[in-house]
Amino acid sequence: MSTLNFDAEADVVILGSGGSGLTAAIRAHDAGANVMVLEKAARIGGTTAMSGGILWIPDNPHMASLGIKDSREDALAYLESLSLGVMDMSLATAFVDNAPDMIRWMEANTPLQFTVAVGYPDYHPENPGGKPAGGRSLDPALFSFKQLGEWADRVNGRHTDLHPQAPVVPLALLESLGRKAIDAATLADRRQDDIRGMGQALVGALLQGCLERKIAIHTNVRARELVHEDDQVIGLTAEKDGRPWTIRAHRAVILATGGFEWNPELVRNFLRGPLDGPASAPENEGDGLLMAMSLGAALGNMSEAWWMPTIRDPNDTVQGKPLYRLCLMERTLPGSLIVNRKGRRFANEAANYNDIGRAFHTFDPTSFAFENNPAWLIFDERFLRDYPVAGYGPSIRKPEGLITSGATLTELAQKLSLPADELERTVERFNSFAHTGNDPDFERGKSAYDAFNGDRTRSGAAATLGACEAAPYHAIQLVAGALGTKGGPRTDVNGRVLHVSGRTIPGLYAVGNAMAGSTGMVYGGAGGTLGPALTFGWIAGKDAAMRVPGRND
Ligand X SMILES: Cc1cc2nc3c(=O)[nH]c(=O)nc-3n(C[C@H](O)[C@H](O)[C@H](O)COP(=O)(O)OP(=O)(O)OC[C@H]3O[C@@H](n4cnc5c(N)ncnc54)[C@H](O)[C@@H]3O)c2cc1C
497 in contact with ligand X (CB under 6 A) = no
Work out which of 21, 125, 454, 487 binds ligand X, going by CB under 6 A: 21
Q: From the list 13, 38, 266, 451, which residue makes contact with ligand X (rule: CB under 6 A)?
A: 38
Per CB under 6 A, the list member of 480, 483, 498, 505 interacting with ligand X is 483
Name the segment binding ligand X (CB under 6 A); options: 69-77, 141-149, 254-262, 379-387: 254-262
Integer Cα distance of 11 and 546 in angstroms: 10
List the one residue out of 33, 42, 41, 38 whose CA is nearest residue 12.
33
x/- contact string, 395-424, with ligand X (CB under 6 A)? Answer: ------------------------------
Neighbours of 89 (CB within 10 A): 14
Stretch that binds ligand X, among 52-60, 269-277, 341-349, 538-546 (CB under 6 A): 52-60
How far is it, in rounded angstroms, from Cα 56 to Cα 68? 15
Q: Three-state DSSP class for 325?
A: strand
Say whether residue 116 binds ligand X (CB under 6 A): no
User: ∠ CA 536-541-545 to the nearest 5 degrees?
Assistant: 150
Write each residue from 217 to 246 as x if it is in contact with ligand X (CB under 6 A), else as -, in one continuous string. -----xx-----------------------
Cα–Cα dist 191/249, whole Å:
41
Residue 541 binds to ligand X (criterion: CB under 6 A): no
Q: Which stretch binds ligand X (CB under 6 A): 16-24, 81-89, 99-107, 357-365?
A: 16-24
CB of 380 vs ligand X, minimal distance in Å = 27
Cβ within 8 Å of residue 367, ≥6 positions away: none
**160 near ligand X (CB under 6 A):** no
Distance CA 199, CA 159 (A): 13
Contact status: 524 vs ligand X (CB under 6 A) = no
Pairing of strands 137-140, 55-56: antiparallel
Q: Is 129 in the site for ligand X (CB under 6 A)?
A: no
Check residue 310 for interaction with ligand X (CB under 6 A): no
Residue of the chain from 20, 348, 477, 535 that contacts ligand X (CB under 6 A): 20
Is 47 a binding residue for ligand X by CB under 6 A? The answer is yes
Which helix H or strand E contains 55, and what residues bound it? strand 55-56
If one asks whether residue 331 binds ligand X (CB under 6 A), the answer comes out as no
Query: Cα(177)–Cα(451) distance, rounded to whole angstroms?
Result: 11
Q: Check binding of 251 to ligand X (CB under 6 A).
A: no
Residue 60 lies near ligand X (rule: CB under 6 A): no
Binding mask 257-296 toward ligand X (x if CB under 6 A, else -) reads xx--------------------xxx-xx--x---------
**C-beta of 206: minimal distance to ligand X in Å?**
10
* Best CA proximity match to 20, nearest among 535, 551, 373: 535
Span interacting with ligand X, options 11-19, 330-338, 378-386, 491-499, rule CB under 6 A: 11-19
DSSP 262-316: T-HHHHHHHSSS---EE-S-TT-SSHHHHHHHHTTB-EESTT-EEE--EEEEEEE
Residue 203 corresponds to which amino acid? V
Stretch that binds ligand X, among 13-21, 121-129, 295-303, 348-356 (CB under 6 A): 13-21
Report which residue's Cβ sits closest to ligand X. 18
Binding-residue total with ligand X (CB under 6 A): 42
Phi and psi at 406, nearest 5°, equal: -145, 145
Smallest distance, ligand X to C-beta of residue 21, A: 6
Distance CA 495, CA 21 (A): 12
In this structure, are residues 389 and 379 in contact, taking their beta carbons and an 8 Å threshold? yes
Give the count of beta carbons closer than 10 Å to the beta carbon of residue 436.
11
CB of 29 or CB of 444, closer to ligand X: 29
Which CA distances in Å does 16 have to 131, 291, 306? 33, 13, 19
Q: For the CB of residue 88, give the shortest distance to ligand X in the complex, in Å.
A: 17
- Residue number, 340 or 354, with CB nearest to ligand X: 354
List contacts with ligand X (CB under 6 A): 15-21, 38-41, 46-48, 50-54, 222-223, 256-258, 279-281, 283-284, 287, 306, 326, 483-484, 512-514, 527-530, 533
